[in-house]
Every structure is written in structure tokens, then in C-alpha cells.
Amino acid sequence: QASRLNMIVTTIPQRFGWKRLDKDSPWRQFCFSNVDLSEEVPFLTAVSAADVVCPIDWTGSLAWSSVVSKLSTVPPVLYLNFRVFSLGIADPGERDWYVEKEIEAVQQARMIMALSEKDKGVLSQFMKGQIIPIHVLLPPLRGDVKQLASLDYKDLKCYMPENVMAALANRPPESKCLVTCIARLSPEKHVENFVKFVEANQDLFKQHDWIPFLAGSNADQEYANKIEESLLEAASNSIIMESFLTPKALCAVLSRAVINVHPCEYDAFGMTICEAAAMGVPSLVESNGNVGAYVE
């Protein structure tokens, strides 16, 4: 089926907010008028003939809305909800903005797929009297991660990022001394909770000679700077990588981890919890039921 996939490109200049998924992302520019097409009619004809359209999250739903009015026939919508954005917002006014967008997304769907029972419950409240089937589909552990998790730590050593390798150079190769946090450096991920954990347990870190490790792409420069400065102040030996880890590098790092901290106060699922578990690493998770991968 992959050979039948056609990629339609939407060109959005970087200044509009790449690497963001919130209201400061380029959602206004992610629309039909910015689609790069030499001929519009074949594209619209193909979309009209589709069996189903699958917008992802509220941004995808808005993009789909920009196409609907141009279609001769509107196919049914399967709304793929990978995150209920309004759940991760503390400010009531800002939360209401997301709720409005997510209500619009839900109400145009014939069917909805969510990643957790928590999200299913919230999305059902957005129907406003409509009856729309919602199915929960738990994300599977990636096949390459599953395979890498079966390897011995000696076999994973060659995939270790250089700065981590240098920090572990004088330690026994089998020692577990990293306390990991793998999350995008963006406010909705609440990475400050990881910093607070390190600050509150400085004596424990010194006693066991643990090293805080933070990895995630930078989606908000001001926020990222604040997090990194605070973490280094709490533990000067902290290792910080402003990028996502490849599966090989991720498993190599987790092979030397004593615990993984998942800082989000809300997460639709939280795949790093499962990836850490595959490597035999427990995770510290918010226990209020707002993280989909957490089960009591």
C-alpha cells in the first residue's frame, strides 16, 4: 500500500513557527491555499473519490476544513486524535480556545480514534448531543525498539551519543547511573517537573552519583533556555541534548538508566514509558490518570 501513497506538500516558511503543535504553530498557513500543486483539479477529484479522510488532531481538522468547500463529494472523516490539547493547558482562557477547536474537529467526524480511555472520555464530552463512535487504539512498541531491547548493553554501546559516552567513560560498563527525561522542550510537556525532581533529590543524586539526562527537540527557545539553565544549576553534571534520539541511541541511553522520568501532567499515551519498560527501566509518572500509558 505504501507504493500508492502520494505526498501533497504544503510550503510553510520557518518563521511561522515550525516544530510547534500548539496555537503558536503555523495552523493558519496549513491549509489548501498553500498546497503546492501544478494542477488543482486532479487533487480535488482524488480527494472527492477517497473512501475516508483522516485528519490528525485539531490542526489537521482545520486543514481539512479548508478543502471541504472545494469538493464535489465530501468523503467521511475518521478523526485521528493523537492528543487532546485542551487537557494540557492550565490557563482557563487558553484552554477554552483549544476546546473550541477540538469541538469543531470532533463534530465533523463520522468516527474517532483515540489513544487512551482518558482521551475517549474527554472527546465524548465534545459531541454536544451527537453520537459518534470512539475507538481506543493503543500505540504498539516499535519493532526496531523491541529488537534493540533484546540486545546486551555491550552490543548497544556503539550507538551511545558521544557526549554520554564521555560522561560515562570512568564508570563500569554495566553501571546504571542515568536518570533520563526524554520529552520535547515545550511548555505542554511540563519538563520543569523533571528539573523539580532533580532539585528535590540532590542528596540522592550525589549519594548514588547519578547523572540527569535530558533529550528532546527545542520547540520554544525561551522555555528551553530556562529549563536547561535550571537543570544545570540543580546538577552541573547534567547531560542535555536538544534533539530527539534515534531508536538505537535511545536504547543505548536507556541501557544505562536507573529510572526514567516522564514529566507530562497530561499525555495522550507516552511512548517513552513503554520504550523505557522494554529496556527494563521503570518510569516515574504522574499518577492522576492523565497519562495514557500509565495503568495502576
Mean pLDDT of 113-130: 91
Q: How confident is the model at residue 99 (pLDDT cuts 50, 70, 90)?
A: very high
CA nearest neighbour of 21 among 55, 60, 54:
60
Identify the burial level of 33 via C-beta atoms within 10 angstroms of its C-beta, where 0-12 means exposed, 13-18 middle and 19 or more buried: exposed
What radius of gyration, in Å, describes the C-alpha atoms of the chain?
21
pLDDT at 104 over 90: yes
Query: Grid coordinates in use for 144?
Result: 526496531
pLDDT at 258 over 90: yes
Write the pLDDT tens digit of every residue in 155-211. 999 999 999 999 999 998 889 999 999 999 988 899 999 999 999 999 999 999 999
Write the pLDDT tens digit of every residue in 1-19. 566 666 677 777 777 766 7
CA nearest neighbour of 181 among 168, 171, 194:
194
Quickly tell me which residue has 495522550 as its cell. 268
Distance CA 76, CA 238 (A): 49
CA nearest neighbour of 108 among 155, 167, 63:
63
For the chain, give the percent of residues with pLDDT over 90: 63
> Helix, strand or coil for residue 238?
coil
Distance CA 185, CA 70 (A): 38
CB 246 within 8 A of CB 207: no
Distance CA 288, CA 27 (A): 31
Average pLDDT, the chain: 90
Displacement of CA 242 from its chain's centroid (Å):
15
CB 85 within 8 A of CB 58: yes
> Helix, strand or coil for residue 113?
strand
Q: State residue 41's pLDDT score.
A: 56
For the chain, give the percent of residues with pLDDT over 70: 94
Mean pLDDT of 146-159: 93
Q: How confident is the model at residue 129 (pLDDT cuts 50, 70, 90)?
A: confident
Query: Grid coordinates in use for 176?
Result: 546504571
Q: State residue 76's pLDDT score.
A: 95
Q: State residue 215's pLDDT score.
A: 97
Quickly tell me which residue has 536518570 as its cell. 179
Helix (H) or strand (E) holding 214: strand 211-215
Longest C-alpha distance within the chain, in Å? 68
Write the pLDDT tens digit of every residue in 30-50. 888 877 666 555 778 888 888
Distance CA 291, CA 118 (A): 8
Mean pLDDT of 57-72: 91
